[in-house]
Structure 1
Amino acid sequence: MANPRAFISFDFDNNEMQKMYFIGQSKNSRTPFNIEDWSSKTALAQYSWQDIIEGKMKKCNLMIVLVGRSMSTATGVNKEIQMALKNNVPFFGVYVDGASSSSTLPIGLPRNRVIPWTWDGIASAITQMLGEGKNR
């Protein structure tokens, strides 16, 4: 698969800047993949949010969860993880915004699937995701 589509899950209230940096750096990195950001670019009304996001996620090969320091308040991230599980979309997390192995993780994201922000590590994780879930 030449260009996997990645849904980027992030804390909209606290980590929008890190999401923009992540997407921008992915385009300029020397990694052998392209990330297509299919996450929402604006806040959505709650009544339509779930259907729109789940529809976008179903079109992706994987989900990358940007794990910031305020994950305990990111209820949307928890819902997106549940959508990924429901739709067999493999996912992993990347620490951003000073988060670390002692930071709170969103519900459903195992600590052993969260990595530091290095492009070599992210490339390896994406390769792994392409052999899991709906990509098998």
Structure 2
Amino acid sequence: MAQPRTFISFDFDNNKNEKELFAGQSCNSKTPFSIQDWSSKEALPQNEWEKLIADKINKCDLAIILVGKNTSKAIGVVKEISFAVKKGIPFFGVYVGGADQSTLLPSGLARNRTIAWNWEGIAKAIDQCMTQWK
């Protein structure tokens, strides 16, 4: 199977650096996925942003939600999760930026589907998503 195209959802205001590190490290890891950096590069009216992001998520096989300390308040992340649910795109979370199991999660993301930033664990979560959800 080809590497799944993966949408990365993150709190733009608080976890942009972690997203860049995650994307960069993924290129040098043995993790079986390719990241599609399809975040909006400019401010758009809400309805245009929603259409753009929904279309991008629909083109992916998987979504990874980067969960920082304030991600539960990130409206864009919550919407991206809802788009993935609506389109049947599997997803899981990865704790970043000092977040851990005591961190509030964004609506729609289950605690048992959120893991530590560990490439071996991420590879296993991807394999699980791709076999269980498809």
Interval of TM-score (by shorter of Structure 1 and Structure 2): over 0.9
Determine the structure 2 residue equivalent to 1:35: 34
Deviation string, structure 1 residues 58-105 (Cα, Å, up to 9, x no partner): 010110000001123201110111111100001000000000000010
TM-score scaled by length of structure 2: 0.94
Whether the 8 Å CA contact 2:40–2:49 is kept in 1: the answer is no
Determine the structure 2 residue equivalent to 1:3: 3
Whether the 8 Å CA contact 1:7–1:36 is kept in 2: the answer is yes
Alignment of 1:51 with 2:23, yes or no, is: no
1:131 counterpart SS class: helix
**Gapped runs of 5+ residues in structure 1?**
none
1:2 and 1:17 mapped to 2: Cα distance? Answer: 28
Determine the structure 2 residue equivalent to 1:84: 84
1:18 and 1:68 mapped to 2: Cα distance? Answer: 9
Greater Cα shift, 22-31 or 38-47: 38-47
2:53 and 2:119 mapped to 1: Cα distance? Answer: 26
Whether the 8 Å CA contact 1:38–1:57 is kept in 2: the answer is no
Backbone CA RMSD of aligned residues = 1.2
Whether the 8 Å CA contact 2:94–2:116 is kept in 1: the answer is yes
Whether the 8 Å CA contact 1:7–1:38 is kept in 2: the answer is yes
Determine the structure 1 residue equivalent to 2:103: 103
Alignment of 1:63 with 2:63, yes or no, is: yes
Determine the structure 1 residue equivalent to 2:115: 115
TM-score scaled by length of structure 1: 0.92
Whether the 8 Å CA contact 1:23–1:37 is kept in 2: the answer is no
**Gapped runs of 5+ residues in structure 2?**
none
